[in-house]
Structure 1
């Protein structure tokens, strides 16, 4: 039985991924700090569902805690690591930037150091479509430039992509980054638009829509997203021997590192979605 370590396991996406891995016969170690960014009870209920499976172990602690990840990697020797834990939210990062520095940057550093010392077969890490920032080219492609982030949240996620690439190059650590778009589905985060819109409709309250709804979003159903991650787990990147990468491939020419967009592939007008 293979072991998967999943950070952010009590989160919206993390809980669905853990369940999928358990269904596929993995032993799963889930790490989650259970922060109060939104209702902790929702996270607890997600975790309780996972704990019904004897092959799931929950660890409620902060990934940025020095030595925690190193200890877990040494004792559990995970075959696969999926790093989803992060301080999320674009607007929240304006008033609380330190939370993003500690969780996203320092937490990712702890993961990378543990993976360098106790290498898994494959390390997968979550990024975000927000890294594209000022890039107006649509649809986004993995090979498009992502140099001008427009929020501190996006800046920290772009930094984790670069950190992971450096470890892949220096230590031959196979890493796949995946960029999420707008994810929706059951057990979703209450601060995300789909849940907020639904709640307002059910309570017969007005919906706050910016720019007159004249915007588009790539809404991705959570189980479709998890299906994409599951497929990527088995697609371990390999450094190209001659440094030549096929056109359109986001594989690094110098490291076993690749970035993949996981979305619906079709943007939907916000007013239509509502």
Structure 2
């Protein structure tokens, strides 16, 4: 970058009668380039804008038959081998097996997100760009192929922009408040940046003690009351759970368990039974309460 700035400084005096003076005392500090010209006493300072980094993410790609393969895998699974007295062990074993099967039928693909990437850029436009670049390398041999590739690229960009425009208008015209806000965020290019707080468990405990200091009550004399303890069982029907899994938004991100919404929705028939079995296990007794 500094080399380009120095070249720009020389280019300003290309057509002058005398050769430009070499810069002296070139300094680099906090993305600023400062130098003093040999023929002048003034100091020139340029601020270089730091480019935004390219973000690399890893996404799971689903082929056309991935959902069917995952359903077949769960259909042939003997869920009885995961049975355990401890509910946590049983749940962890089932979730690990589901994630293992999901990783088997999907492919991890790294993608790069550029800071100037257009929101209407689609996979079809990327393919047209590659075809245009290929035709450009063969332009000397086939000029008509290059012209056709350029026309197809121009037509594909226009279609992608119109599709993006219709999608944003549908968000704004819908009665769903979430989609309306998504449309506004796309129009204003709003990006949320949530930074992680620095601290440890002791800091969290100190904050809890500070903010809850007025809610503390003086200790009272312990009074013995007869208590009632009862054990209860959550009653959950398999068809109810299956219907709930069908309504899951498959585009949502995975939760702490790592199971995506698409897996739960596409494999609701296969997973409803084992999830119902784990949910209907006896729960611990509730805390005692006076009669």
TM over 0.5: no
Structure with the larger strand share: 1
For the pair shown, which has the larger CA radius of gyration, 1 or 2? 2
Structure 1 length normalisation: TM-score? 0.20
Bigger helix fraction: 2
